[in-house]
Chain A
Amino acid sequence: MNKTPRIILKREKDVGWLQINNPPENYLEQPDFIEIAELKNFIETGIKALVIEGTGRHFSAGADLENLKEQIKDKKAFQDHLMKGNNVLNYIDELEIPVIAAISGVCFGAGLEIALACDIRVCDENALFAFPEVNHFVFPGLGGAKRLAELTGVSAAIEIVLLGDMINAEKALELKIVDALVKKNEAKGYAVDLVEKITDNRPLKVIHAVMRSVNNSKSMSVDEYIKNDTEMFTELALESMIKNKD
């Protein structure tokens, strides 16, 4: 019998959707919740934005603990999965299209790590966030602590990771873990509206350039950044001149 896919990829016009599909909690069966090649193929169909959401009421409660205990028995294989999971999230983080997490319900552990690898996070008022790993004597293994610290500052991030406490939507907004807070069940609607506004009539090249500039601003020296932005600008300007001539 065929199992229902745990991750659903679908394209609606220019927008890609990645749905974590293991309701109700949307547990992730392993750290590499999707094959990077499969995701890459999907992105390369030319989507202009990617929205990540969970099926049903919750985003994702993270790793399935029972399953995890089984997996850890084979240390080498588990390390391999963890490494692949990290590669997937780094890939998502560096994508040159906007990636939006539409969060409702629980967003825990590896679920929160996925959300933190996105560019924009919107949640509804019922959303709950936590890194409960510490309660099981581990820590977020997919770069979540570092990404969290970039948003909240180091001291708040340490508290969240070491206490493992739950954070409600309002607090998450205050701590800058999420960028927007909307009414119950409206996170998806907000994401749909936002992606439409930022991709409509925008050529993919312009979207790539903006996102590259965004990513570069974190990683490059000022001189390098200026050079890169100017090159992208020049290329787009030359293209737009050719178009206007026709």
Chain B
Amino acid sequence: MPEIFTGKKISWEIRDGLGFISFIDPPENRMDSIFFEEFGVIIDEIIPASTAIALIISGSGRHFSSGAELEDLFRIIQQKKTDTLISNYELFHSLSQMKIPVIAAIKGVCIGSGLELALHCHFRLSAEDAILGLPESSFGLIPGLGGISKLMEFSGKAKAIELALKGHHFNANDALKWHIVDEVYPKKIVVEKAIQLAKLSAENYRKYNKSDCLKRLKI
């Protein structure tokens, strides 16, 4: 299996034992059918065959991802391809089922399915400038890739209902307060911190739980 994969929307490489998934369609790093195809290849084929000890997911440029490409999504739905939507969701879900730590390094805009993807990761480190949100309800939709159940898990029912129905944007500090992200850092060091956490958690994956790893990251 290749140690480097460069698609149109996503790239993959192993550096120093760590697997880097980068969204490479800046500035918005939107998620369309090509994105999900490439994501599927990385998740289902490349990673299982790789030696990566942890995964770091980030967006190139200023933002993480501003979520789904609506026109493309509507085209899929019109062709009645609900199976495509189910398998997209399952790809996100499989992030949380990985046997190696999966870390989202968030900066800039991280909304809609961009945030949903991050919510399926084991850890979320966020830059101070990040803007997060699930705006789907304001277009007459719902977050369809697990955002609601993940918010229930991290922030509780009341906050999940509020955020999913208000659909407003919120900042990194609010996200931290509501347990949506685990730590907030200056933008310049988010990826560096993610690398540090990746190594720390990979080494201690069996020995420590999530909060132990985050504590050790602070030392």
Task: Please give the residue numbers on chain A whose beta carbons come within 8 Å of chain B beta carbons, in ascending order.
Answer: 98, 119-121, 176, 179-180, 194, 197-199, 201-203, 205-207, 209-211, 213-214, 217-218, 222, 225-227, 229-234, 236-241, 243
Chain A interface mostly: helix
Chain B residues near A227 (CB-CB < 8 A):
86
Chain B residues near A209 (CB-CB < 8 A):
142
Query: Interface-forming stretch among B15-23, B152-160, B190-198, B200-208?
Result: B152-160
Query: Interface-forming stretch among B24-32, B40-48, B55-63, B161-169?
Result: B161-169
* A119 & B158 in contact (Cβ 8 Å cutoff): yes
B146, B157, B160 — most chain A CB neighbours (10 Å): B157
Query: Interface-forming stretch among B1-9, B71-79, B104-112, B180-188?
Result: B71-79
* B137 & A206 in contact (Cβ 8 Å cutoff): yes
* B89 & A240 in contact (Cβ 8 Å cutoff): no
* A237 & B73 in contact (Cβ 8 Å cutoff): yes
Report the Cα distance A222→B86, complex, angstroms: 11
B144 nearest in chain A by CB position: A233
| Chain B proximity of A91: nearest CB distance (Å) | 17
Report the Cα distance A92→B176, complex, angstroms: 31
A230-B82, A234-B77 known; A243-B165 Cβ under 8 A: no
Report the Cα distance A74→B77, complex, angstroms: 59
Does B219 sit at the interface, judged by CB under 8 A?
no
* B90 & A234 in contact (Cβ 8 Å cutoff): no
Report the Cα distance A121→B82, complex, angstroms: 36
| Band of interface residues on B | 20 to 34
Report the Cα distance A99→B214, complex, angstroms: 35
Chain B residues near A207 (CB-CB < 8 A):
165
Show 25 A/B contacts (Cβ-Cβ < 8 Å), sorted by A: A120-B157, A121-B158, A176-B156, A179-B156, A197-B166, A201-B138, A203-B140, A205-B140, A206-B165, A209-B142, A210-B137, A210-B142, A210-B164, A213-B142, A213-B148, A213-B149, A217-B153, A229-B146, A231-B82, A233-B142, A234-B77, A237-B77, A238-B77, A239-B140, A241-B74
| Chain B proximity of A136: nearest CB distance (Å) | 31
* B161 & A198 in contact (Cβ 8 Å cutoff): yes
* A225 & B140 in contact (Cβ 8 Å cutoff): no
* B141 & A119 in contact (Cβ 8 Å cutoff): no
* A119 & B161 in contact (Cβ 8 Å cutoff): yes
Choose one: B78, B90, B165; the contact of A226 (CB below 8 Å).
B90
Chain B interface mostly: helix
Does B14 sit at the interface, judged by CB under 8 A?
no
Task: Please give the residue numbers on chain B whose beta carbons come within 8 Å of chain A beta carbons, in ascending order.
Answer: 73-74, 77-78, 82, 85-86, 89-90, 93, 137-142, 144, 146, 148-149, 152-153, 156-162, 164-166
B165 nearest in chain A by CB position: A198
Choose one: B74, B148, B152; the contact of A237 (CB below 8 Å).
B74
A214-B148, A217-B152, A234-B77 known; A240-B139 Cβ under 8 A: yes
Report the Cα distance A209→B165, complex, angstroms: 10
| Chain A proximity of B196: nearest CB distance (Å) | 31
Chain B residues near A240 (CB-CB < 8 A):
139-141
* A229 & B142 in contact (Cβ 8 Å cutoff): yes
Report the Cα distance A229→B85, complex, angstroms: 10
Instruction: Given A230-B82, A233-B144, output 6 extra A-B contacts at Cβ < 8 Å.
Output: A179-B158, A207-B165, A213-B148, A225-B149, A229-B148, A232-B142
B153 nearest in chain A by CB position: A217
Chain A residues near B164 (CB-CB < 8 A):
210, 213-214
| Chain A proximity of B166: nearest CB distance (Å) | 5
Report the Cα distance A211→B149, complex, angstroms: 11
Report the Cα distance A121→B149, complex, angstroms: 19
* A229 & B165 in contact (Cβ 8 Å cutoff): no
* A198 & B152 in contact (Cβ 8 Å cutoff): no
A227 nearest in chain B by CB position: B86
A225-B149, A234-B77 known; A210-B161 Cβ under 8 A: yes
Chain B residues near A233 (CB-CB < 8 A):
85, 141-142, 144
* B165 & A199 in contact (Cβ 8 Å cutoff): yes
* B85 & A230 in contact (Cβ 8 Å cutoff): yes
Report the Cα distance A222→B93, complex, angstroms: 9
Chain A residues near B166 (CB-CB < 8 A):
197-198
* A236 & B142 in contact (Cβ 8 Å cutoff): yes
| Chain B proximity of A118: nearest CB distance (Å) | 9
